[in-house]
Amino acid sequence: MPRSLKIALVGAGMFGGDVHLRTYAQLQQHGLAPWLGRVGLDNMARQLGDVEIQFVALATNTAASAQRTLEAYRAQGMEFAIYHGDTPWLNILRDFPDLDILAVATPDHLHTAPIIAALERGVHVITEKPMTLDADEADRIIALSEKVRRLVGVDMHKRYDPDHLRIRDDIA
């Protein structure tokens, strides 16, 4: 029986829409196995090959952006719930009590609230950098993550950006 991971995304702007959502669409359509070698985990393909990715929900600021994004992905055969407003992650967490991962790709100053809400409901989190703009909020997130035994991954995508690596190497 295949195992599955249910993922929802808050924020479909530049990075949420261009990177997160495209990635989740590819994972849902093709599974994990084709991508494991790219990150040096090809030896895990047999063990993780049956994991099914289900992208279940998208939250944006406006109804129009949520609908526009859904229509674009519907053309690729995807279907997911859409939410919008000031705190749409609360509705996602209510409607998907078995959600595994909430991805947060909102503007930087809006990361904390959805992260805390997800952790309080026992959901793992992937967030864009920075995790938060406030050290006390970061401490609260880390403490809560440890308390509920859920992961908070922070995407540090520029760490491996070829242009940034070249600049680093040239300076060195």
Helix (H) or strand (E) holding 4: strand 3-10
Mean pLDDT of the 74-101 span: 96
State the pLDDT confidence band at 2, using cuts at 50, 70 and 90. Answer: low
16, 25 contact by CB (below 8 A): no
* The pLDDT of residue 157 is above 90: no
Quote the percentage of the chain above a pLDDT of 90: 69
Give me the pLDDT at residue 132, please: 95
Quickly count: other Cβ atoms within 10 Å of residue 4's Cβ. Answer: 13
pLDDT tens profile 17-70: 888 999 899 999 988 888 887 777 888 888 888 889 999 999 999 999 999 999
* The pLDDT of residue 154 is above 70: yes
Give me the pLDDT at residue 123, please: 98
Place of tokens 């985990």: 41
117, 150 contact by CB (below 8 A): no
Report which of 77, 78, 125, 73 is spatially closest to residue 99, judged by C-alpha positions. Answer: 125
Return mean pLDDT, the chain: 91
* The pLDDT of residue 135 is above 60: yes
131, 152 contact by CB (below 8 A): yes
At how many degrees (to 10) do helices 63-74 and 21-30 cross?
A: 30
pLDDT tens profile 89-113: 999 999 999 999 999 999 999 999 9
